[in-house]
């Protein structure tokens, strides 16, 4: 089965009749369970009904309890802390600065605990240049491996964020992944581009998941240019600044064709690459349990909500950088590393004029730091943003 606007439909291997995620708009209420979370059951929240997605299975589980993630009773997370049902609370675009600087807005998705991550528009700068080295690296870019400086109690959510097993996995396997031409940026052209890139993302990350004992189905992908109903709510093309989003509720990524075209046109293919690889980074966080650990951590430390959000978003960007290294030679990126550096440092995130209490993604310079760090280190050990010093997650 497949969506009329994408491919993949429900995750492969899903039993007939079993929904792939919780009801729209909210994560299910917490149930008693040990940490790390175990599998258990949820019921739809008040007024919620399971959503029938294009290409999804429909069966006896609709409106009935179904397997899902549980939380320990002592945490009792109250979803969603960023807003009510249907409120996704994406950050406001940076204020335009003076001079002749030309801004186009882009950004990566804000993680909310209604089960969605949005990619939103922030400042975009283009550049030219080339570089071709034996070992592709961003010249002058960072190359650090964050190390925890605290020792939280073993088995806690904070301990999990700092010391997750994913940081001990090696580089992603090198992929033969030549980019598909975006052509006119039409639905057909973008769909072909995403399908090629998404296959490479799945092929690159699947061995990492298996190494961690998480032999999970690949996520789904929906490319849309008309209204779409998802497990995380209903979306219209060109809604606000949403470019693409990953829905934790059903493990499907959605891409707004019209918004991507309006933000970049078909020429800025590196922006497409980084946006999709970033959103896939949120899938990595879900599969590895980092998403759920952070949900618990924020409930324990509400004063750390914004900083934690930045660490989360910057981590997804770092994972995008690690993936970019795996496709650098065949995409290719090796002759475009100057462009990669400039776009990663200026295209995604918030400006210094963004109020401190609205900084959910990190400054553009922080985004560039972590994308490039993931690329230069080339392994997931680069992406322990929860262990990084505060000045690196501004």
For residue 256, the cross-strand partners are 224
Q: Which two tokens stand for residue 81?
A: 């802390």
Q: What was the pLDDT predicted at 118?
A: 56
Q: Which residues touch 354 (CB under 8 Å, ≥6 apart)? A: 91, 92, 94, 95
Q: What was the pLDDT predicted at 270?
A: 94
Q: What is the distance, to the nearest Å, from the Cα of residue 312 to the centroid of all Cα atoms in its chain?
A: 9
Question: What is the DSSP code string of 40-92?
Answer: EEE---TT------TT---STTTTS-EEEE---TTT---S-TT-STT---PPP
Count CB neighbours of 173 within 10 A: 12
Q: What was the pLDDT predicted at 90?
A: 24
Beta strand pairing status for 220-224 and 252-256?
Answer: parallel
CB 380 within 8 Å of CB 208: yes
- In the chain, how long is the greatest CA-to-CA distance? 60
Q: What was the pLDDT predicted at 119?
A: 56
Q: Tens digit of pLDDT for each residue in 8-62? A: 333 333 333 333 333 222 222 222 223 333 333 222 233 333 333 333 222 222 2
Burial of 100 (C-beta count, 10 Å sphere; 0-12/13-18/19+): exposed
Q: What is the distance, to the nearest Å, from the Cα of residue 122 to the centroid of all Cα atoms in its chain?
A: 16
Cα–Cα distance measured from residue 318 to residue 252, given in angstroms and rounded to the nearest whole number: 20
The stretches in the chain having pLDDT less than 50 are: 1-115, 120-133
CB 191 within 8 Å of CB 180: no
- Tokens 């019209």 — which residue? 258
Cα–Cα distance measured from residue 29 to residue 39, given in angstroms and rounded to the nearest whole number: 14
Cα–Cα distance measured from residue 28 to residue 14, given in angstroms and rounded to the nearest whole number: 20
Secondary structure element (H or E) that encloses residue 223, with its range: strand 220-224
pTM more than 0.75:
no
CB 223 within 8 Å of CB 43: no
Cα–Cα distance measured from residue 96 to residue 222, given in angstroms and rounded to the nearest whole number: 33
């Amino acid at each position: 089965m497949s969506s009329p606007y994408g491919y993949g439909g429900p995750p492969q291997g899903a039993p007939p009749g079993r929904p792939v995620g919780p009801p729209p708009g909210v994560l299910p209420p917490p149930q008693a369970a040990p940490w790390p979370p175990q599998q258990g059951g949820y019921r739809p929240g008040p007024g919620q009904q399971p959503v029938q997605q294009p290409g999804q299975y429909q069966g006896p589980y609709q409106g009935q309890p179904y397997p899902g993630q549980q939380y320990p009773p002592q945490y009792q997370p109250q979803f969603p802390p960023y807003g009510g049902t249907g409120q996704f609370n994406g950050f406001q675009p940076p204020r335009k600065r003076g001079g002749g600087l030309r801004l186009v807005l882009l950004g990566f998705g804000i993680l909310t605990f209604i089960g969605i991550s949005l990619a939103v528009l922030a400042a975009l700068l283009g550049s030219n240049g080339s570089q071709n080295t034996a070992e592709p690296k961003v010249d002058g870019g960072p190359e650090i491996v964050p190390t925890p400086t605290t020792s939280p109690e073993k088995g806690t959510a904070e301990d999990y964020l700092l010391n997750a097993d994913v940081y001990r996995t090696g580089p992603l396997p090198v992929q033969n992944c030549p980019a598909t031409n975006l052509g006119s940026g039409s639905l057909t052209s973008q769909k072909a581009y995403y399908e090629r890139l998404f296959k490479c993302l799945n092929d690159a990350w699947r061995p990492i998941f298996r190494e961690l004992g998480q032999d999970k189905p690949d996520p789904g992908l929906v490319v849309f240019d008309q209204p779409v109903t998802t497990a995380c709510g209903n979306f219209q093309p060109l809604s606000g600044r949403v470019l693409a989003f990953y829905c934790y509720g059903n493990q499907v990524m959605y891409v707004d064709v019209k918004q991507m075209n309006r933000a970049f046109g078909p020429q800025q293919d590196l922006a497409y690459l980084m946006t999709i690889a970033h959103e896939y980074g949120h899938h990595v966080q879900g599969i590895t349990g980092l998403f759920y650990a952070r949900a618990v951590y924020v409930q324990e430390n509400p004063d750390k909500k914004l900083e934690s959000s930045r660490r989360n978003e910057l981590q997804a960007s770092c994972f995008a950088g690690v993936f970019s290294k795996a496709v650098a030679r065949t995409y290719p990126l090796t002759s475009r590393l100057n462009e990669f550096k400039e776009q990663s440092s200026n295209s995604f995130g918030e400006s210094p004029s963004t109020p401190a209490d609205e900084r959910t993604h990190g400054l553009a310079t922080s985004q560039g730091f972590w994308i490039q760090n993931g690329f230069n280190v080339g392994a997931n050990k680069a992406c322990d943003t929860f262990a990084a010093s505060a000045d690196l997650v501004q």
